[in-house]
């Protein structure tokens, strides 16, 4: 309460001044309820993390600053980015980790403790990194990345599988991952150390745990080097799993 009163006063004080430029990794315009500065420094773009928070990310393309409705459809792009057209395959396992499953998340900026999930939730559509409150639950079985989408304790369980595109996206070094009711036939996922890796026989990857998280928080397998020649609008991330009872922030 005190905090929001303070923020409102603070914003009111700022309203009479010229708007400032937001520093890299700072909050920028676009989140619901955010009335602060919206402009990122040159060379940075305002990237929506969730409905409440957008962040200036170096190298990101400037994003549309209009507040977006809950779970908007992702825009199709000229690069053939997969779109979120799916319908939910289940009600989702909830906020408590179900037996045999793991949370999967990034542990470094700009996606620190953002969790793997589907967009829309528990539905066919792209794999994204999103808020901990909507974290998905996963396991790797016979090289398949399996998302639990049925309700807690519901039997039989319902699953979606992570499908890796053979088509290349963005910098010709990125493979999309989307959720499907049918199994993946291109390459194999594995847990390695505490990382989520993907490999296929005919591609030698410098880092099998390298991922990109790009516009719309969509996840791509990065076939190139980690932290090198990162495409505009994307962040390099390695993706990790753990099994605490709840996904934490």
Ligand X SMILES: *[C@@H]1O[C@H](CO)[C@@H](O)[C@H](O)[C@H]1NC(C)=O
Judged by the rule CB under 6 A, the positions of this chain that interact with ligand X are 168, 172
Q: How far is the CB of 168 from ligand X (least distance, A)?
A: 5
Cα 248 to Cα 107, 133, 236: the distances in Å are 11, 8, 21
Q: Which is nearer to ligand X, 98 or 165 (CB)?
A: 165
> Is 199:188 a contact under the CB 8 Å cutoff?
yes
CB 70 within 8 A of CB 51: yes
Whole-number minimum distance, CB 203 to ligand X, in Å? 8
**Shortest gap between Cβ of 173 and ligand X (angstroms)?**
7
**Spatial distance between the Cα atoms of 135 and 179, rounded to a whole number of angstroms:** 15
Token code pair at residue 3: 């905090």
56: Cβ contacts below 8 Å, ≥ 6 apart = 22, 23, 24, 25, 26, 27, 28, 40, 41, 44, 45, 46, 47
Nearer to ligand X by C-beta: 114 or 205?
Answer: 205
Phi, psi of 150 (to 5 degrees): -75, 165
Cβ 228 to ligand X, closest distance in Å? Answer: 16
CB of 201 to ligand X, least distance (A): 14
The CB-nearest residue to ligand X is 172
């Amino acid at each position: 309460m005190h905090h929001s009163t303070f923020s409102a006063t603070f914003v009111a004080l700022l309203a009479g001044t010229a708007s400032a430029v937001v520093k890299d990794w700072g909050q920028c315009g676009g989140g619901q309820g955010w009335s602060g500065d919206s402009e990122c420094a040159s060379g940075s773009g305002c990237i929506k993390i969730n409905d409440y928070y957008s962040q200036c990310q170096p190298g990101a393309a400037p994003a549309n600053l209009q507040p977006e409705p809950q779970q908007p459809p992702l825009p199709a792009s000229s690069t053939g980015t997969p779109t979120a057209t799916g319908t939910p395959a289940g009600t989702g396992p909830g906020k408590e980790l179900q037996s045999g499953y793991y949370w999967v998340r990034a542990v470094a900026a700009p996606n620190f403790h953002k969790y793997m999930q589907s967009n829309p939730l528990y539905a066919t559509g792209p794999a994204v990194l999103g808020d901990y409150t909507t974290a998905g639950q996963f396991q790797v079985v016979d090289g398949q990345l399996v998302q639990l989408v049925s309700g807690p304790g519901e039997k039989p369980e319902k699953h979606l599988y992570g499908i890796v595109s053979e088509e290349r996206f963005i910098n010709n070094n990125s493979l999309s991952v989307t959720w499907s009711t049918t199994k993946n036939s291109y390459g194999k996922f594995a847990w390695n150390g505490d990382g989520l890796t993907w490999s296929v026989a005919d591609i030698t990857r410098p880092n099998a745990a390298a991922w990109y998280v790009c516009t719309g928080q969509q996840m791509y397998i990065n076939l190139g080097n980690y932290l090198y020649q990162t495409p505009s609008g994307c962040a390099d991330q390695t993706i990790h799993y753990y099994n605490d009872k709840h996904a934490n922030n």
